[in-house]
Amino acid sequence: MVQTALRITVIALTTLLFSACRRNPNDQPATPAPAPTPRVSKMTFELNNTVFTWNADGTLNKATSRANTGGALQSELQYAWANGRISEVTGDNARFVFTYPSATTIRKDMRVAGGATLFSFDFVRENGRLREAIMYSHGAGGARTPENRALYTYNQAGNITRLEEFERNGANWELLETVDFSQYDNRPNYTAAFEDGFAYLGPEAVLANNPGRLEYRSASGTLFKTITYTYTYNNAGLKTRAVKNTVETGEPNRSETISYEYHTR
């Protein structure tokens, strides 16, 4: 709030005249302009990089991936929108068609040349957060068979604390593994939809903050993999670099550096 105050101090020899603060009743509080929303413009991994092009309304237009060495094109996905929602993604010899069977469900069909659907995915959202994802295979006549399922648990900050992954076994879901997101930083995350196996479903945030530690456990509860992240930030508090360290049973330790660039709209 902007407050106009008049404070006059007059010193004349030994006389001090001090006027108290006074608000003009005609003053109106100023409304600050909304801060521009950061959008990731480029992510660079060990072997390749992805450049993101955004529409003026903040929706994603295109994601182009190239090799770091030589710049060979690896993939390019073009996003189409209708009424503020993704309607189609094309590229990589496939076409992904989005429909919205209910107010909480997003359906993503993977179609090949000729229009046949090979797989589909149902993403169920609750209170603006992804709660469940199911993958279906498609047989003759388009019949859908559930294959895999993921369930997401969140904390009050809007960060995933647990991911449970299941595989269909007859008429039942069989737990394959759980992933515990045991640590986060306190900085905003604008890249999660393009990392860690998540899917970009729209402008809503996937994670509020950046994960610091992921713990993978088998169905029996045995810890078999941990991933830790160490971040570098810019003056705006956005991560510009992440060092990702993976320790997995029976595998050599791995380390990868990921860099991030942003622009605002």
Instruction: Render pLDDT for 226-241 as a digit per residue (tens, 0 to 9).
Output: 999 999 999 999 999 9
Phi, psi of 202 (to 5 degrees): 150, -175
Q: Which of 129, 125, 138 is nearest to 161 (CA)?
A: 129
- CA–centroid distance for 260 within its chain: 13
For residue 32, pLDDT over 60 is answered with: no
For residue 189, pLDDT over 50 is answered with: yes
- Range 188-195 average pLDDT: 93
pLDDT value for 265: 59
For residue 5, pLDDT over 80 is answered with: no
Neighbours of 128 (CB within 10 A): 8
Q: Which of 88, 76, 134, 133 is nearest to 115 (CA)?
A: 88
DSSP assignment of 57-100 equals TS-EEEEEEEETTT--EEEEEEEEEETTEEEEEEETTEEEEEEE
State how far the Cα of 208 lies from the Cα of 211, in Å rounded to an integer: 9
- Range 75-81 average pLDDT: 96
For residue 26, pLDDT over 50 is answered with: no
- Range 2-6 average pLDDT: 37
Q: Would the pTM of this model clear 0.85, i.e. be above it?
A: no
**Which domains can be identified in the chain, with CATH numbers?**
41-264 (2.40.160.190)
State how far the Cα of 152 lies from the Cα of 130, in Å rounded to an integer: 7
Reduced to 3 states, what is the DSSP secondary structure of residue 4? coil
Give residue 84's region: left, alpha or beta (phi > 0; psi -120 to 50). left
pLDDT band with cut points at 50, 70 and 90 for residue 17: very low
pLDDT value for 9: 31
For residue 255, pLDDT over 50 is answered with: yes
> What share of the chain has pLDDT > 70, as a percent?
86
For residue 157, pLDDT over 60 is answered with: yes
